[in-house]
Amino acid sequence: MNQKFFAHQTAVVDEGCEIGAGVKIWHFSHIMPGCIIGENCNIGQNVVVSPGVTLGRNVKVQNNVSIYEGVICEDDVFLGPSMVFTNVINPRSAVLRKHEYKKTLVKKGASIGANATIVCGNNIGEFSFIGAGAVVTKEVAPYALVIGNPARQSGWVSEYGIKLNFDENGNAVCSESGKKYLLKNNSVYKL
């Protein structure tokens, strides 16, 4: 087999998954059949990628993350250590609810901090930033910074993850990239 990705000898990569070039899969991770992993992803230690999951290009999955069926991550997503996805709203051990899996879409460039929980059925907007330990129970807007339990928006961030300070005209500049942003009607736009 001429594989174009790296898998540590302790990783389990099942037949029937699609893995892009340049992917790195580290210690004790399990990549299950039917998942799609885009180019140049990094899958940390002790990660499970379930059937039906799609990871875009350049997704970084830190240690101890389980990505369950129903989750789609677009390009350049960061999943912090031990963060959690769910896929059933009201799980019960004795009640089969596989037909009730809810989708979760993590849009391009979003970051989810360590130990955060994403309750299924809630989309995470482009370039948004979920703080460590946050519990997301509703949709997250593009460029939003959310923290706490339950997660509440506490500001806006740039595509570099830098908090934006808008002036009275709704303009802000990312201090790291120099890129300009506009806040209008409670939405942020890159100029």
Residue 1 has pLDDT above 60, yes or no: no
Q: What is the pLDDT of residues 108-125, one digit of tens each?
A: 999 999 999 999 999 999
What is the amino acid identity at position 15?
A: E
Partnered with residue 129 across adjacent β-strands are: 111, 145
pLDDT in tens, 176-190: 999 999 999 999 999
pLDDT band at 83 (very low <50, low <70, confident <90, very high): very high
Q: Give residue-wise pLDDT tens across range 152-180.
A: 999 999 999 999 999 999 999 999 999 99
Q: What are the pLDDT digits (tens) for 4-15?
A: 999 999 999 999
* Omega within 30 of 0 (cis) for the link into 51: no
For the chain, give the number of residues.
191
